[in-house]
Amino acid sequence: MAFEIFTFSFMHRAIISGIAIAILCSVVGLFLVLRRYSLFGDAIAHSSFGGIALGLMAGIYPLWTAYGVSIISALIMTRIKDRFNISGDASIAVLLSSGIALGLVIIGLSGGFTLDIFSFLFGSILLVSVNDTILILSLTGIILIVILLLYRQLLYSTFNEEQAKVSGIPVEKINYLIVFMAGITVVTSIQLVGVLLISALFVIPNVTAIMYGKGFKQTVIISMSFSIFSVVAGILVSYIFDITPAGTIVLIAIGIFGCTIGIKSAGLLSRHN
């Protein structure tokens, strides 16, 4: 019976971890989308690929090296972008390509692709351990607390950076903080949808929620609802039909996006964004 799925401990861990990641991606991702940095999460994910390859070659837990490489790379690239006035899309392209290049070189030096690499590329949420779940929940809690404490500064610098500077808000530090949180969120989420699809969780639920034309807080709630539904439904459907969880999660999110477009086209949603 379908209800037997919920008796498995690995399914409990997968769903709990998935919900935490869905919430984290929605909140952090919305700040990136509103700043027109939609692909920044994708760039960080690709840079983390180099960190994963480095960890596997060195015999270190790959996510630890992925955290280090992706966060440091993102912070350095942000610094270079600000100092030399490089456009956002160009900096994202540099970060994305350098991470993939580093990963491919390290994989070549260590003897080629392995099953471990593929699990990080495409996600393996059904294989998360108790320790992984605790780490995911802990990082989610910490980042959400930071966002709540700095909510006004984050919001102000996102919508009106120049006015925020005039008001005395340390915009540059806030920008680095967002990059730092995005790096942690991306690497934490790799276990759910993998390196190749991580940007989908950052972008699709948020873009869908924005189409409803609500305020910031309501948009966050709508985005989290869509993201959580996509993740939980995707995990359950993938297990029942023995298909890839990552792809299923993203397709459900895209389905919600498509339905929203249909509803909006029919004039059932406000056109004000």
Residue type, 28: V
Please report the pLDDT score of residue 18 as a whole number.
94
In a domain, 101, yes or no: yes
- Mean of pLDDT values over 24-35: 93
With contact defined as beta carbons under 8 Å apart, do 25 and 227 qualify?
yes
In a domain, 242, yes or no: no
User: Given pLDDT bands bounded at 50, 70 and 90, which one contains residue 195?
Assistant: confident
Please report the pLDDT score of residue 273 as a whole number.
45
Which is higher by pLDDT, 271 or 179? Answer: 179
In a domain, 203, yes or no: no
Which is higher by pLDDT, 33 or 269? Answer: 33
- Mean of pLDDT values over 160-171: 88
Indicate the pTM of the whole model: 0.88
In a domain, 38, yes or no: yes
In a domain, 229, yes or no: no
Show the tokens assigned to 216: 């910031």
In a domain, 24, yes or no: yes
Residue pLDDT, tens place only, 131-163: 999 999 999 999 999 999 999 999 999 998 888
Please report the pLDDT score of residue 269 as a whole number.
67
With contact defined as beta carbons under 8 Å apart, do 72 and 79 qualify?
no
Structural domains counted in the chain: 1
In a domain, 7, yes or no: yes
- Percent with pLDDT over 90 in the chain: 45
Q: Specify the CATH number for the domain of residue 13.
A: 1.10.3470.10
Per-residue pLDDT at 13 exceeds 80: yes
Please report the pLDDT score of residue 62 as a whole number.
87
Which is higher by pLDDT, 205 or 85? Answer: 205
In a domain, 27, yes or no: yes
Please report the pLDDT score of residue 83 as a whole number.
79
Please report the pLDDT score of residue 109 as a whole number.
82
- Mean of pLDDT values over 21-39: 91
Residue pLDDT, tens place only, 45-66: 888 888 888 888 888 888 899 9
The whole-angstrom separation of Cα 120 and Cα 63 is 9
Which is higher by pLDDT, 205 or 40? Answer: 205
What is the domain range of residue 149?
2-194
Q: Identify the weakest region by mean pLDDT among 105-109, 151-155, 211-215, 216-220.
A: 105-109
Which is higher by pLDDT, 83 or 44? Answer: 44
The whole-angstrom separation of Cα 41 and Cα 46 is 9
Please report the pLDDT score of residue 85 as a whole number.
76
Please report the pLDDT score of residue 1 as a whole number.
45
Mean pLDDT of the chain: 87
Show the tokens assigned to 265: 């086209």
